[in-house]
Structure 1
Amino acid sequence: MIFNSEFSGQQQHTTQPIVTGGSVIALAYKGGVVVGADTLCSYGSMADFKNVEKIAQVSKNTIYVSSGEFSDFQQVVRELAKIDRSALQYDDGVHPSPRDYGNYLARLSYKRRCKINPLYLQNVIAGFHNGERYLGLVDIYGTYLESNFVTTGFASYFCKAIISNYWNENCTLDQAKQVIRECFKVLFCRDCRAHDVIQLAYVDEQGTHIEQPERVETKWDFSGFKNRANEKLHTQ
């Protein structure tokens, strides 16, 4: 973000993110790509905004979602929407592919990084084009990666074991969704900036499908929790 200071008259840059979104998980499945994110935006360390939908459709076959500074996410959505709108205005039947959006976002992030005015985002682009799945990751430095599964934020630390154990790239859509739900159960218990309300979206040969937010089931009555509480009572 860039803003002009009314007091100093000098141009200043954002030095740290303020309102941030949490982890993003995206998985390829047999017929497309599914992505998941929770609906929480934190103001610093405070869980302030709990009903924020952070998954955006940028074209009929492309989904964009990110973790990081939410205002930067909004700016990127506007930039990607301009590209799609411009393509529609030409009316020549030529539209950017999901990979085109990923490459553009990588160059934009690298340019902003070089100007010491980065987009504080870990970006995920998912799409389906000409019978092929596409899933790309672009980080704050403009590093670009294509993969069959992508995690950002604390999901990169807590969820890769779950994904490796229960997911494969040829699983069904329902199986991929369930893996994402299991990941967000773990994140809600272990990441202080995670939320138990998540939103899922997927893209296939029919186009993009963004679902309504849902609450993941959590369990807090494990015997280990109860036994530890009883042990504390007996030792006091």
Structure 2
Amino acid sequence: MIFNSEISGQQQHTTSPVVTGGSVIALVYNGGVIVGTDTLCSYGSMAAFKNVQKIAQISKNTIYASSGEYSDFQQVVKELAKIDRSALQYDDGVHPSPKDYGNFLARLSYKKRCKINPLYLQNVIAGFHNGERYLGLIDIYGTYLESNFITTGFASYFCKAIISNYWNENCTLDQAKQVIRECFKVLFCRDCRAHDVIQLAYVDAQGAHIEESERVETKWDFNGFKSRANEKLHTQ
């Protein structure tokens, strides 16, 4: 959380994350880039806030999402929004590209890390500029990577096999959405910080689009579950 230090008088970021968000999954597809998150923010191990938007539109053709401390996410959104406002105020027709935002955030994260005052985030910047798709990952240390797909949090452990089997960079938007839904279905079953309500956003030649949240379909009536429940009833 953000607070004002009484000792130094300077604004500092938390060094102990409190309210945190879970995995982010982002994929390129044949017309742009899609990003998915769930809508849960956890207070420690408690599922405290279940209707939180963790995707932000930074500019007409750039969206931003992250895993980690939610107050740090809010602060990064403010910093990136300042850049967009400044470009609009100059009114010279020059606007930062998605890659510019990624480079800025990488340097900001590295600066905070060097001051031992880090942004506890794994950041994802997605955009579409001059006919090219852009997808970048920036971690807590300021490490900056570009890729055709990105996973953060527990999605990095549970979802890469799903993505490898069912996704390719030339798939359609609907196919990419379905892959992300399948990933969050697995996360909801296996990650105690995951939620079954997710939100998708994509950016293409027409700009950024953030969709309404939706609930992924899950299945709990497996025969193994039923037989085990019956066994427990009989033993009681």
For 1:13-162, list aligned pairs within 5 A.
Answer: 14-162=14-162
Letter in 2 for 1:73: F
Structure 2 alignment gaps of length 5 or more: none
Cα gap change, 1:58 to 1:5, in 2 (>3 Å): closer
Secondary structure at 1:15's aligned position in 2? Answer: coil
**How many Å apart are 1:148 and its aligned residue?**
0.3
**How many residues were matched structurally?**
234
Q: Where do 5+ consecutive residues of structure 1 fail to align? A: none
Q: TM-score, structure 2 length as denominator?
A: 0.95
- 1:217 maps to 217
SS in 1 for 2:194: coil
Task: Provide the C-alpha distance between the structure 2 equivalents of 1:135 and 1:157, rounded to a whole number of angstroms.
Answer: 20
Given residue 132 of structure 1, which amino acid in structure 2 is its aligned partner? E
Aligned-pair CA distance for 1:5: 4.8
CA distance in 2: counterparts of 1:13 and 1:33, whole angstroms = 30
Q: Does 1:186 align with 2:195?
A: no
CA distance in 1, matches of 2:5, 2:168: 51
Tell me the secondary structure at the aligned position of residue 134 of structure 1. Answer: strand
- In structure 1, how many angstroms separate the alpha carbons of the residues matched to 2:234 and 2:21? 41
Report Cα offsets for 1:33-73 as digits up to 9, x if no partner: 00000111111111011111111000000000001000000
Q: State the Cα distance separating 1:224 from its structure 2 match.
A: 1.6
Return the offset for 1:99: 0.4
Runs of 4+ off more than 6 Å: none
2:186 corresponds to 1:206:
no
Deviations 1:10-39 (A, max 9, x none): 567622100000100000000000000011
Separation (CA, whole Å) in 1 of partners of 2:75 and 2:13: 15
Q: Distance in 2 between matches of 1:170 and 1:65?
A: 23
| TM-score, normalisation: structure 1 | 0.95
Deviation at 1:223, TM superposition (A): 1.1
> Counterparts of 2:92 and 2:5 in 1: how far apart (Å)?
44
